[in-house]
Chain A
């Protein structure tokens, strides 16, 4: 997974709401930094928690240096619209006034895809940004996008194509074409779906994978987040599940928790197996992190798991 991601320059992380997209995006960034990549992690959600995980920082649309190798930024649609308008108006105060107008809000709502388009333009600029002598060096080796949840990811990633169909000619066409080429280039861009070992999350993942393949983006292996690191081996599972249990008789007080955990483990393994069978590549499992505040330190185990996936539990399901 990590190698596949590191070969690209732009990786989108998407998935169902609440599965831990931001934590996974940041863990992937950590793993990339460890592999020597200068990495930018971008959050496309004005109310996201990326800044919180990075030690309660306020992120801005301009990349903030977290460490010399890691930068973070946030893209808020209103800010990006304001920038767009300011670029046209040359006077920011006017742009802001315009954005405050109710009427103008209707106008932008009526131009669906405008915000998505501007978001992608910004991301592509970072992907292509060059610094140093004769601008030969990329500013970032890898740009990781903490993308919107499932429902919004497909429209976001298909914006260039939609636009090209809508406006085959015009001033934005060449930009849209460049974006479409970037997103469709398997050498440069790829998408990873984050999920959980739960039935509804897996259903949504399989639907999303189909939709993403249809729009022609390259899929990385799915990432199953928050898999319980505790595991009964198959023989252990059989002993706990047997009726009567194949355990010393005085161990009965442990049985309630053991059987409950085993049943949850088996249900999770069933879901991981569904992903393995339906997707072209085996999913990567990430362990649950300790409860409490997420920080770069608490995400280390996830970065480890991305760099060195254990032989997945999926094949050993009982």
Chain B
């Protein structure tokens, strides 16, 4: 794990089948049905989810990884050629991989479409919503709908019986739990007497029952219509009215998803780096997860400087070196000192994580000299995770 990456040859994808090494996360990969990766943007969440998926496949399980918005290289590495939400088999090589890995990207709109088709009382009712002009923008723009659809898709995948383990990375959000609140937000919308209000917009300001308020409101609504340039309000009213017919089904479904996230076979993994700002955010996420009663399992700390590189004393006296060597020698000494300080600072941050969550798993993934954007690099990375 701590070999100097400069000398490590890139492994061939076929090597995925080599002996499986245990990591602290291995038991999760063997027993759980859902692993949710949560963390701030830019910490390697999607990469971690993909590497966990590979590790699980190597351990013999039928695995699917659902990612929200992977960078193109990662998509290429996973063999995801289209963003249609369909599973794509990841070519993990021929020798000795007992399980399998499918990768897929969330297609928010399509998942929403399917949900509507499933819960519409009649196909005509479904059609009314699906062909509504504002449906397309609402289904993708409405706050939290992407997160909610990720959970919805997971629930459907879990029910499909095709997979032993699902791994998902959550969208980059400021609040870890946005995706949990999304179903509530959506159902709140549906139960907000929205259709009635839109048929008689003055109900929004029912408490300001004055004539002035009503007049003012109509002015706003007219202004908004001017902005959008079409009979938007009628479309919104139709849309929300159409959705209301499904409200009971939605709520039932949202409750089932919330339950699924709290099952013993579900684990939340917080992905972070050892940078102080990221660790502070991660600790805030951790408090949120605990408060929400979600099954938190541990931390994956990405891009940790390999302490093993520090070398063993005695460190030679550079001053005795020849003149031509001395400049380089001083540089090496300064570099060594700086590296040791950085390692020390990272250790302190990782200790903060351990102290905040006693008993939590902590897996460190060493910083590599190149980025884990190819499949072979992902496979190398997966060794650190399970």
Contact = CB atoms under 8 A, between A and B. Distances in A.
A306 B366 CA distance: 32
A124 B143 CA distance: 27
Interface string A164-175: 001100111000
28 contacts: A88-B220, A91-B213, A94-B205, A94-B213, A101-B192, A101-B197, A103-B189, A103-B198, A105-B142, A106-B240, A107-B224, A109-B141, A110-B137, A111-B227, A172-B227, A199-B370, A200-B74, A248-B316, A250-B316, A252-B311, A253-B311, A253-B314, A254-B335, A257-B309, A260-B369, A262-B6, A263-B369, A267-B371
B292 interface: no
Contacts of A114: 224, 227-228
When A and B form their complex, which 10 residue pairs have the shortest distance between CB atoms, in order from nearest?
A18-B42, A263-B6, A256-B309, A263-B369, A253-B311, A17-B41, A110-B134, A102-B192, A250-B316, A254-B332
A53 to B, nearest CB: 11
A259 B321 contact: no
A106 B236 contact: yes
Q: What secondary structure prevails in chain B residues at the interface with A? A: helix
Contact of A98 (B74, B217, B336, B373): B217
B7 A107 contact: no
A91 to B, nearest CB: 6
A275 to B, nearest CB: 15
Nearest to B74: A200
A280 interface: no
B328 A239 contact: yes
Contacts of A89: 216-217, 219-220
Contact of B42 (A17, A90, A236): A17
Contacts of B213: 91, 94
A257 B314 contact: no
B72 A203 contact: yes
Nearest to B220: A88
Contacts of A85: 220
B99 to A, nearest CB: 27
A233 B263 CA distance: 56
A232 B370 CA distance: 18
A292 interface: yes
B232 A251 contact: no
Given A151-B69, A239-B328, A251-B316, 5 more contacts: A107-B232, A110-B239, A199-B373, A257-B311, A257-B339
Q: Which of A90, A103, A114, A203 has the most CB of B within 10 A?
A: A103
Interface in B196-216: 197-198, 204-205, 207-208, 213, 216
Interface residues on B, range: 35 or more
Interface string B280-310: 0000000000000000000000000010111
A261 interface: yes
Interface of B: 4-7, 40-43, 69, 71-74, 134, 137-138, 141-143, 172, 174, 188-189, 192, 194, 197-198, 204-205, 207-208, 213, 216-217, 219-220, 223-224, 226-229, 232-233, 235-236, 239-240, 275-276, 306, 308-316, 321, 325, 328-329, 331-333, 335-336, 338-339, 345, 367, 369-371, 373
A292 B276 contact: yes
A132 to B, nearest CB: 34
A251 B138 contact: no
Given A17-B41, A109-B142, A259-B4, A254 B336 contact: yes
A120 to B, nearest CB: 14
Interface of A: 16-19, 47, 85, 88-91, 93-94, 97-98, 101-112, 114, 117, 149, 151, 166-167, 170-172, 198-200, 203-204, 207, 230, 232, 236, 239, 241, 247-248, 250-264, 266-267, 291-292
Contacts of B333: 254
A260 B306 contact: yes
Nearest to B192: A102
Contacts of A267: 369-371
A290 to B, nearest CB: 11
Nearest to B172: A17
A257 B335 contact: yes
Nearest to B225: A111
Given A103-B204, A105-B143, A200 B369 contact: no
Contact of B208 (A97, A104, A151): A97
Contacts of B369: 260, 263-264, 266-267
A254 B216 CA distance: 74
Contact of A251 (B194, B228, B332): B332
A91 B208 CA distance: 11
A130 B314 CA distance: 67
Contact of A167 (B4, B5, B220, B229): B229
B335 A18 contact: no
B334 to A, nearest CB: 8
Contacts of B207: 97
A16 B71 CA distance: 11
A89 B329 CA distance: 72
Contact of B336 (A151, A257, A262, A263): A257
A102 B194 contact: yes
